A = this chain, B = another copy of it.
Amino acid sequence: MATGRTHRPATRSRGIPEATVARLPLYLRALTALSERSVPTVSSEELAAAAGVNSAKLRKDFSYLGSYGTRGVGYDVEYLVYQISRELGLTQDWPVVIVGIGNLGAALANYGGFASRGFRVAALIDADPAMAGKPVAGIPVQHSDDLEKIIEDNGVSIGVIATPAGAAQPVCDRLVAAGVTSILNFAPTVLSVPDGVDVRKVDLSIELQILAFHEQRKAGEEAAAGTDGGAPAVAARSESADKGPDGDVPAVMPA
């Protein structure tokens, strides 16, 4: 598609499919690891294995970014790291606020991978006055009364909500009113936001329930098996049922 001059205003990135966007961070992580080991180039096959996808998908994904590989050779690691970082907007620094400094909020504040790549915890906010001033991960917690001011002073456009479910929507409304346009929601609630605001959610119990579904099905199939010749303990069913949130984990189909 790199060759196809799709009639489009001179704007930046062509429409990169959402599914591809969701995998770019995965590729980036794998590439960063290679970069740290000073590996100069990598093939789609190797990189795909490291990222846990298949190589065709990876090549297709990269084709949306442009032609960054060399036929017969592979991809230049450093160059790809840069291109993907740029595509993801990680060449700039994103100030982030975390609202709700309970167990989870504290865990997030302490999470290293946070700062490492393009994100900076600009502020921690909690509604509990007793928390105010207390440092978490080296950053003093601020009271939620000042939420709007904090957002504006720091030019924050990404907010992380780690409050109890009941507080999530009100907090979300205030964040959005103050100018936040991307929200990562850890509270088990559906947030409603105006158009133009992105929300992504991370929900432990949903993930567990999805696992339970598959777990249950495994148990059922196990019981149903038995007439078969061999006695292999584990799932032989070709229904490679492992899914990630978006992609799969390595799976080699015996064609």
Contact = CB atoms under 8 A, between A and B. Distances in A.
A88 B255 CA distance: 15
Q: Which of A108, A221, A239, A243 has the most CB of B within 10 A?
A: A243
Contact of A241 (B90, B193, B231, B255): B193
Contact of A236 (B28, B195, B207, B235): B195
Nearest to A190: B52
Given A234-B196, A240-B191, A94 B212 contact: yes
Interface in A172-209: 181-185, 188, 190-209
B107 A192 contact: no
Interface in A204-218: 204-218
A18 B246 CA distance: 10
Contacts of A1: none
B158 A211 contact: yes
A109 B159 CA distance: 24
A51 B188 CA distance: 11
Contact of A26 (B190, B195, B211): B190
A193 B22 contact: no
Contacts of A244: 18, 22, 199-201, 245-246, 254-255
Contact of A234 (B18, B106, B111, B195): B195
Given A199-B249, A201-B240, 17 more contacts: A52-B192, A88-B212, A158-B215, A183-B211, A190-B249, A191-B249, A195-B240, A196-B218, A196-B234, A198-B241, A200-B250, A201-B251, A202-B253, A206-B251, A244-B255, A245-B251, A246-B248
Interface of A: 9, 11-13, 18-19, 21-22, 24-26, 28-30, 50-52, 87-90, 92, 94, 96, 102-104, 106-108, 110-111, 113-114, 116-119, 157-158, 181-185, 188, 190-218, 220-221, 224, 231-255
